[in-house]
Homo-oligomer: A and B are copies of this chain.
Amino acid sequence: MQITRAAEYGVLGLTALARRPLGEVVMVDVLCAEEEIPRSFLGKIFQNLAKAGIVKSARGSGGGFSLSRLPGQITALEIIEAIEGPIAFQRCLDEDLGCEHSGGCALCSLLAVAQNRVKEVFHATTLSDLAGRHIPNSAVTRARGKSRGKIPLAAA
């Protein structure tokens, strides 16, 4: 019952991208430094994001990634499903290669509801929402290094 780190890093990396004007091309090295994510891992994750059409990739020198849409038009659901695959609480809810029991199963009905609730939440949240209430990891660790105290909140 957990989101993977890949999804977590993906979202974090995208917020770093969303902080910039639309279309600006940024290398994964820069994103990694800002959010303190292992470099080669984020590279791999962004490949999926590119394949899903959420970011555009530019190769060669001066290349990198750029958002392919406005942050307000990218939902958290899209991002997470692009990275983790479709969210499915149970095999019967994903593909129909699930068990034959589906028709009369106590769990299926319960899990279907629960799963749809989280999909709703993820669908209603956009990348710009996320970026808005986010403080980059690098800023957090810098502050912690200096003052060993509270981190000032962005929206407070």
- Which A residues lie at the B interface, using CB under 8 A? 1-3, 8, 11-12, 15, 76, 84, 87-90, 100-101, 103-107, 109-111, 113-115, 117-118, 120-122, 125, 130-131, 133-135, 137, 140-141, 144, 150-151, 153-154
- Please indicate the chain B residues that have their CB under 8 angstroms from the CB of A150 in the complex: 103
Q: Are A106 and B90 in contact (CB under 8 A)?
A: no
- Please indicate the chain B residues that have their CB under 8 angstroms from the CB of A140 in the complex: 100-101, 103-104
Known: A100-B140, A137-B101, A144-B100. A107 touches B1 (CB 8 A): no
Contact of A133 among B2, B87, B106, B120 (CB under 8 A): B106
- Please indicate the chain B residues that have their CB under 8 angstroms from the CB of A151 in the complex: 100, 103-104
Contact of A110 among B90, B100, B125 (CB under 8 A): B125
Known: A104-B140, A135-B103, A154-B104. A88 touches B121 (CB 8 A): no
- Please indicate the chain B residues that have their CB under 8 angstroms from the CB of A120 in the complex: 117
Q: Once the chains are docked, how many angstroms separate the CA of A103 from the CA of B134? A: 9
- 9 new A-B contacts, CB < 8 A, other than A11-B106, A114-B118, are A1-B3, A3-B107, A3-B111, A103-B135, A104-B151, A104-B154, A106-B133, A109-B133, A117-B118
- Please indicate the chain B residues that have their CB under 8 angstroms from the CB of A8 in the complex: 90, 107
CB distance from A14 to the nearest CB of B (A): 9
Q: Once the chains are docked, how many angstroms separate the CA of A103 from the CA of B105? A: 40
